[in-house]
Amino acid sequence: MSLTLAGVRHTYAAGTAFATDALAGVDLSFEPGELVLVLGATGSGKSTLLRVAAGLLTPLSGSVEIDGRSVDGPLAVVEPGVGFVFQSPEMQLFAETVEADVRFGPLNQGLTEDEAHHRATRALEAVGLGAEEFGSRSPFTLSGGEARRAAIAGVLAMDPGYLLLDEPTAGLDVEGREAVREIVARSRRRAGVVVVTHDAEEFLGSADRVILLCAGRVTFDGPADELVQSPERFAEAGLKAPEMLLAQMLARDAGLKLARLSLDPAEAALLIARAREGAR
């Protein structure tokens, strides 16, 4: 069981003067139950990677397989295989009520009204928008954070085996970002989750695995903690490391012997305090 990309290459406007290489040979595999964070500078190929994995874009070469089945064309999205949450997905809410919007996906998968309603109710619960309170409201009366969550519910309701999200927290305030982070982290119980973002700090703490993309190539693929312990990998991929890790790198450069690096402020402060004791 996995979502697998093998030897994937893609060039936009291939054969013209505007040809732009987006993916230059990518081999990756995503498993159910894991939360994978994909990081890369703007233009590194992150969004192309997601579109290929969802079957929305057929790459120039290479193959995509879901649980052993070859993906060929956009049908993968309608089948329960892969769910895709686009950037600013709330722009696509369209129905008269939140519940009808979330029900739209399962209905189009051929489920009955009852089954679709049941799916919508569960999906709304999963994103913390109780169907009682929110189901009959117009999507246009929701706050920015609530609308984003309703849009994610619309994808969860189709019960995808793999859930792909492109910048799910961009443009949201503190509260909205935290709610979406929790929903995404919890979703790994029901699907393999792949999150693309340019803000490393948003998901680095909760991800099981991190992939760094640079100019269409994978430059790092490993456990999140391995990346935390070697933050110089960020710069290698043309990315700025999170300030938390930069602070600890600078402390090391200044001569402090930190036992390890941490994303947790309390733990990092403790390790720095200990290193200062040791230096005395």
Partner 1 sequence: MIEFIDVAYEYRTAGGSVPALRGVSTTLAPGELVTVLGPNGSGKSTLARLANGLLHPSEGRVVVDTIDSTDAARVWDVRSRVGLVFQNPDNQIVATTVEEDVAFGPENLGVERESMHQRVRNALATVGLSGLEQREPHTLSGGQKQRLAIAGALALAPAYLVLDEPTAMLDLQGRADVIDVLGRLRDAGTGIMHITHHLADAAAADRVLVLTGGSVVYDGVPATLLADTRLMQRCGLTLPPVGRLAEELRAAGVDVPPDALTAESVVAAL
Nearest C-alpha neighbor of 129 from the set 97, 86, 161: 97
Nearer to partner 1 by Cβ, of 42 and 114: the residue is 42
Least distance between partner 1 and beta carbon 240 (Å): 4
Surface-to-core class of residue 65, CB atoms within 10 Å of its CB (0-12 exposed, 13-18 middle, 19+ buried):
middle
**Distance between CA atoms of residues 273 and 102, nearest Å:** 50
Contact 142, 150 (CB under 8 A): yes
Neighbours of 132 (CB within 10 A): 10
Nearest C-alpha neighbor of 3 from the set 212, 161, 184, 196: 161
Site stretch for partner 1 (CB under 8 A), options 28-36, 50-58, 187-195, 251-259: 251-259
Q: Rule CB under 8 A: is residue 278 a binding residue for partner 1?
A: no
Q: Rule CB under 8 A: is residue 211 a binding residue for partner 1?
A: no
Nearer to partner 1 by Cβ, of 112 and 138: the residue is 138
Site stretch for partner 1 (CB under 8 A), options 100-108, 187-195, 218-226, 264-272: 264-272
Q: Rule CB under 8 A: is residue 196 a binding residue for partner 1?
A: no
**Distance between CA atoms of residues 10 and 257, nearest Å:** 44
Nearer to partner 1 by Cβ, of 114 and 174: the residue is 174
**Distance between CA atoms of residues 248 and 268, nearest Å:** 8
Select from 164, 172, 184, 228 the one that contacts partner 1 (CB under 8 A): 172
| Start-end of H helices in 127-204 | 131-134, 144-156, 174-187, 200-203
Interface mask (CB under 8 A) for partner 1, residues 225-244, using x and -?
Answer: -------------xxxxxxx
Surface-to-core class of residue 272, CB atoms within 10 Å of its CB (0-12 exposed, 13-18 middle, 19+ buried):
middle
Interface mask (CB under 8 A) for partner 1, residues 124-143, using x and -?
Answer: -------------------x
Phi, psi of 42 (to 5 degrees): -60, 135
Task: Give the DSSP letter of residue 270.
Answer: H
Nearest C-alpha neighbor of 183 from the set 170, 171, 193: 193
Select from 107, 185, 249, 258 the one that contacts partner 1 (CB under 8 A): 249
Nearer to partner 1 by Cβ, of 119 and 177: the residue is 177
Nearer to partner 1 by Cβ, of 113 and 199: the residue is 199
Least distance between partner 1 and beta carbon 41 (Å): 5
Q: Rule CB under 8 A: is residue 263 a binding residue for partner 1?
A: yes
Q: Rule CB under 8 A: is residue 145 a binding residue for partner 1?
A: yes
Please report, as a single letter, which amino acid is at residue 162. Answer: Y
Select from 9, 24, 34, 41 the one that contacts partner 1 (CB under 8 A): 41
Select from 24, 60, 170, 215 the one that contacts partner 1 (CB under 8 A): 170
Kindly list the residues in this chain that would bind partner 1 in the complex (CB under 8 A). 18, 20, 41-43, 143-145, 170-176, 198-201, 238-244, 246-247, 249-251, 254, 256, 263, 265-266, 268-270, 272-273, 276
